[in-house]
């Protein structure tokens, strides 16, 4: 999820669950709810560092715990005036930790995934329910924050006194609606997967499939299907009366097995890339020295902000001996940074 949405979600959570929190607690929640995305800066250290740090260590429950402790510490050490009300340290920590966990839950619902249980498990979890940038969620959170402010201005203008903490009702309704929206996305995602797996593609059954959310509409999904000999890229509509044609899929056939391809897949660079790429696609090109093997995340043309932006490049000789290997930026997606 984008940084602005995480900040809005943290602030909405503050108004709903901690409406009487002082400003320092609000700041702690905003920092804890967004700081995990600092791992995106690893792109400046190169593609290898990006694969190592992006959505890995910083997007774990352990990191959420550490971040929450770090943002709580300055508040505890700060000297307060005699008139200031001291907020219990446990309250500040719990508020910050809840914002950090909300960040993880939102990213968990996307397709890039997070290493939730690092360092105990390197497994990356991705539910594929939400797109990278969800304008519906952003609008919902903004409404939950701004509409109560507008309502308060109106009531103050006519001289009426508002009851209860400012913005709590609006924020609570926004969070409740957010949960219902995600449940709706879950149902539509399940329907999209069922539709993908019930069809055949160029006469072959699906071995593996995934449906990725699109920002424009909860009923429109980007389907990827892997069969025995190919990868298929197809749009899927779900809902009453919706259907899709598997023959309209863009098909990319897998290369035949060869010494060069087998050797490339066995390299450390390829193994590292394959840990992230959910639908890897290899291309093998003949060169004067031997073969040029490229491993990329399929489909190549999909939104570059929602998946790996790097590919693995391996050079071999004619006998399959590896001459060089490296991780490199995908030229098309790297331009979108």
Same domain, 65 and 177: yes
The pLDDT profile of the chain, 337 residues, written as one tens digit per residue, is: 899 999 999 999 999 999 988 888 999 999 999 999 999 999 999 999 999 999 999 999 999 999 999 999 987 777 665 444 567 888 999 999 999 999 999 999 999 989 999 999 999 999 999 998 999 999 999 999 988 766 564 454 454 455 556 788 899 999 999 999 999 999 999 999 999 999 999 999 999 999 999 888 899 999 999 999 999 999 999 988 787 889 999 999 999 999 999 999 999 999 999 988 999 999 999 999 999 999 998 875 554 444 558 999 999 999 999 999 999 998 755 444 4
Q: Could you give the number of structural domains in the chain?
A: 3
- Other CB atoms closer than 10 Å to residue 328's CB: what's the count? 15
Tokens describing residue 275: 């840990």
Q: Last residue of a domain, which of 208, 237, 252? A: 252
Same domain, 173 and 42: yes
Same domain, 59 and 94: yes
Same domain, 202 and 154: no
Tell the residue number behind the tokens 């203008």, with chain if given: 157
Could you tell me the residue range of the domain that residue 27 belongs to? 3-182
Confidence (pTM): 0.89
Q: 171-176 — which CB contacts under 8 Å span 24+ positions?
A: 171/12, 171/13, 171/14, 171/15, 171/16, 171/19, 171/144, 171/145, 172/16, 173/144, 174/12, 174/16, 174/140, 174/141, 174/143, 174/144, 174/145, 175/12, 175/13, 175/16, 175/144
Same domain, 24 and 166: yes
Output the CA torsion sign for 142, 145, 150, 153: negative
The residues with which 213 forms a beta bridge, in sequence order, are 221
Distance CA 126, CA 107 (A): 8
């Amino acid at each position: 999820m984008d940084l602005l949405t995480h900040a809005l979600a943290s602030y909405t959570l503050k108004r709903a669950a901690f409406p009487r929190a002082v400003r320092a607690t609000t700041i702690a929640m905003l920092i804890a709810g967004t700081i995990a995305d600092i791992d995106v800066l690893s792109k400046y250290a190169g593609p290898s560092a990006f694969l190592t740090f992006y959505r890995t260590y910083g997007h774990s429950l352990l990191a959420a715990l550490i971040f929450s402790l770090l943002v709580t510490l300055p508040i505890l050490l700060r000297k307060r005036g005699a008139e200031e009300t001291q907020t219990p340290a446990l309250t500040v920590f719990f508020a910050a930790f809840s914002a950090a966990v909300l960040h993880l839950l939102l990213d968990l619902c996307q397709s890039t995934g997070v290493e939730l249980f690092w360092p105990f498990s390197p497994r990356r979890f991705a539910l594929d329910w939400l797109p990278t940038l969800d304008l519906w969620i952003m609008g919902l959170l903004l409404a939950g924050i701004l509409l109560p402010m507008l309502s308060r201005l109106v009531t103050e203008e006519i001289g009426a006194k508002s009851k209860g903490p400012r913005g709590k009702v609006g924020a609570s309704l926004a969070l409740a609606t957010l949960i219902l929206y995600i449940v709706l996305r879950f149902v539509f995602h399940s329907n999209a997967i069922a539709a993908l797996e019930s069809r055949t593609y160029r006469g072959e059954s699906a071995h593996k499939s995934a449906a990725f959310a699109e920002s424009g509409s909860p009923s429109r999904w980007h389907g990827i299907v892997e069969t025995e000999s190919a990868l298929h890229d197809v749009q899927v509509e779900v809902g009453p009366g919706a259907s899709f044609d598997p023959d309209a899929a863009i098909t990319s056939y897998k290369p035949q097995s060869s010494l060069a391809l087998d050797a490339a897949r066995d390299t450390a660079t390829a193994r590292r890339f394959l840990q992230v790429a959910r639908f890897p696609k290899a291309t093998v090109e003949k060169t004067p020295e031997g073969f040029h093997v490229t491993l990329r995340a399929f489909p190549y043309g999909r939104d570059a902000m929602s998946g790996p932006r790097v590919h693995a490049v391996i050079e071999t000789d004619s006998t399959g001996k590896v001459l060089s290997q490296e991780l490199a930026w995908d030229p098309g997606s790297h331009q979108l940074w």
